[in-house]
Structure 1
């Protein structure tokens, strides 16, 4: 299992290098990837985005489409932004966002208290329903370095899964899995996310 995880990380790093996403926050800027096991099954992994060197993700915001009612098509969670900071004095100076869905509005950032940083996450996902209106990811919550938990203003369908592993030195990047718009068929938008752990 460890060999498979290592191979996945190596392939991801090679992809990042080829696609020009390795820069100040590239392989030297993170040491591992944390994931959850309950992500939605639809869509493809987009590009990764990293905090600048020396910055840690201290807060986050979400893009959520409100409940559409009948006969609307619900997509719930559409996007995640990490708010990178270097101490309290430089909060909100750099925001990173992988691909997001087209629906919804961005929330105000939620910050770890007392200059803390994000270290782990849990995703709220609605299991596939057939027939029915699938939404996949609905919300997420983060654990901060001091143990505080922050929950986004998402929707209530589905269940929160297990917590991811923790980043020893904090989160410094993300990559989202997004289903593109499907026209008149059922849309789900954001299905899953993985986070990158900082190395220093």
Structure 2
């Protein structure tokens, strides 16, 4: 959500009757280049509606991501304004770490990595749908799959529902970059932190 249309402060307690919203996901491809290295974007469409997309960030040339970390704010209690997921880091083959837009709350989880010689190839998001007058958190958690089929489960927040997996990178390709959609802190409103994630595959 842009700063030009702030949301009012809202109650943080759950309503008496929870409304479960099933989020349908449509995988998306997009093409491009990083230097002379061809790329394809993989995306899911169950992100939150607030904030702006940050700049794409990539592993060094010809390098793939082999692991990731999440920046997560724990539940803040009855009167707290929760934001859940605040950042995603990719851990590259050459030990570089890349991230896009990052919220100020939470701490980084223990890094999770694929097995030797493997790389990230797809992901999915856990997202809480907009809740009206109640506290919004938007994106809560992220899982990834490795090129050998192993699933690395993020240690994010528990709210919301999982969307479908993105399409996987083509054979012999791997995730090499990402960008994230972040709602900046709302001084007089309801903060949500991270709202969406896109990843990029490189040859």
TM-score (norm 2): 0.82
After superposition, what is the alpha-carbon deviation per residue over 1:138-160, rounded to whole angstroms, capped at 9, x for unaligned?
00000100000001110110011
Three-state SS of the structure 1 residue aligned to 2:36 is helix
Partner in structure 1 of residue 18 of structure 2: none
After the TM superposition, list the runs of 4 or more consecutive aligned residues in structure 1 that deviate by more than 4 angstroms.
Answer: none
Q: Which runs of 5+ in 2 are unaligned?
A: 1-27
Alignment equivalent of 2:160, drawn from 146, 158, 161: 158
Q: Which runs of 5+ in 1 are unaligned?
A: 14-25
1:124-143 map, 5 Å:
124-143=126-145
Measured after TM superposition, the shift of residue 36 of structure 1 is: 0.4
Partner in structure 2 of residue 23 of structure 1: none
Measured after TM superposition, the shift of residue 107 of structure 1 is: 1.2
- Please say if 1:80 is aligned against 2:80: no
After superposition, what is the alpha-carbon deviation per residue over 1:60-113, rounded to whole angstroms, capped at 9, x for unaligned?
00100000111100000000000000xxxx5xx100010101100011210012
Q: How many residues align?
A: 174
After superposition, what is the alpha-carbon deviation per residue over 1:143-190, rounded to whole angstroms, capped at 9, x for unaligned?
100000001110110011000011121100000000011113100010
Alignment equivalent of 2:111, drawn from 109, 112, 115: 109
Contact 2:125 2:139 in 1 (8 A): yes
Partner in structure 2 of residue 174 of structure 1: 178
Partner in structure 2 of residue 20 of structure 1: none
- Please say if 1:42 is aligned against 2:44: no
Three-state SS of the structure 1 residue aligned to 2:116 is helix
In the alignment, the residues of structure 2 paired with residue 9 and residue 190 of structure 1 have an alpha-carbon distance, to the nearest angstrom, of 24
Higher helix proportion, which one? 1
TM-score (norm 1): 0.83
Three-state SS of the structure 2 residue aligned to 1:121 is strand
